[in-house]
Amino acid sequence: MIDIARLVAVNLGDGKVRRSLVLIALASALASSVLVALIIGGVMALEPGTWVESHVTWMPRWLAAGVVFVVVTLGAVLLVWFTFVMVVQTVASLFLDGIVSRVEETDYPHLPEAKGTTVAGDIVASLRFVGWLLLVNLAVTPLYLAGILIPGLSIIIFWIVNSFLFAREYAEIVLLRRLSRRDSDAWRKRHRWRLFATGAVITAGMSVPVLNLVMPVVATIAMTHLCHRSSDAMA
């Protein structure tokens, strides 16, 4: 892992990689800001506090205001995280195949040319992943809520669930350039725990504001090295 971190640092110094990183960060920040503003503005236009006070008559005004505040705050936090991760993933999908290609070109020049992917295919794959990310996290929301009773449990559940998701996504970005879906699945199964450890690091990075702007690029570079430096590296 330390060796891969060193290689990632070197690749981030490449001009082509840096340009992609800057474009992803700027486009993601702009798109996410606009999306969050539109959603929050739409929700607030519905005046949820007034609705609660008028429909839940048994609840004191101070309690109704407190409930609305807590719900809106939690909703805003989840909204910012989910929308930002989804936006970053979608924007980054336009660049990640090129980043893998650049790393292979500079660090693994002996490899034959990969079939690569198409822009349309990258976008579809990204949207599919975002859908799974959203659905799976919504499905385990009861566990997140139950985890509130035990300090730290929600974070652990979140980390485990998303580590598997991110590991699969970024491994496939590299693997499917050269392997069939069947061979890709078999490779991931053989290296499931190394991938999980890498996915855990990616999840941690994606959870940190500002750092999550560059994590798609960092994750892609790291996964490229992980795949090509394994004992059964792709030809």
Name the residue with higher pLDDT: 141 or 61: 141
Closest CA to 215 of 48, 160, 207: 207
Q: Decide if pLDDT at 147 tops 80.
A: no
What is residue 53's predicted lDDT score, i.e. its pLDDT? 62
What is residue 224's predicted lDDT score, i.e. its pLDDT? 95
Half-sphere exposure for 87 (CA within 13 Å, toward CB): 21
pTM: 0.79
- Tell me the average pLDDT across 49-68: 65
What is residue 166's predicted lDDT score, i.e. its pLDDT? 92
- Tokens representing 120 are 């349309």
% of residues, the chain, pLDDT over 90: 36
In a domain, 85, yes or no: yes
- Tell me the average pLDDT across 27-53: 72
Q: Decide if pLDDT at 49 tops 70.
A: no
In a domain, 235, yes or no: no
Give, in order, the Cα–Cα distances in Å from 192 to each of 107, 151, 164, 172: 24, 28, 9, 13
Half-sphere exposure for 162 (CA within 13 Å, toward CB): 24
Structural domain boundaries, residue 224: 2-228
What is residue 31's predicted lDDT score, i.e. its pLDDT? 82
In a domain, 39, yes or no: yes
What is residue 52's predicted lDDT score, i.e. its pLDDT? 61
What is residue 234's predicted lDDT score, i.e. its pLDDT? 63
- Tell me the average pLDDT across 218-223: 95
Confidence category of residue 185, pLDDT binned at 50, 70, 90: very high
Half-sphere exposure for 136 (CA within 13 Å, toward CB): 16
Question: Residues, the chain, total?
Answer: 235
Rg (CA), the chain: 21
Q: Decide if pLDDT at 47 tops 70.
A: no
Domain count, the chain: 1
In a domain, 68, yes or no: yes
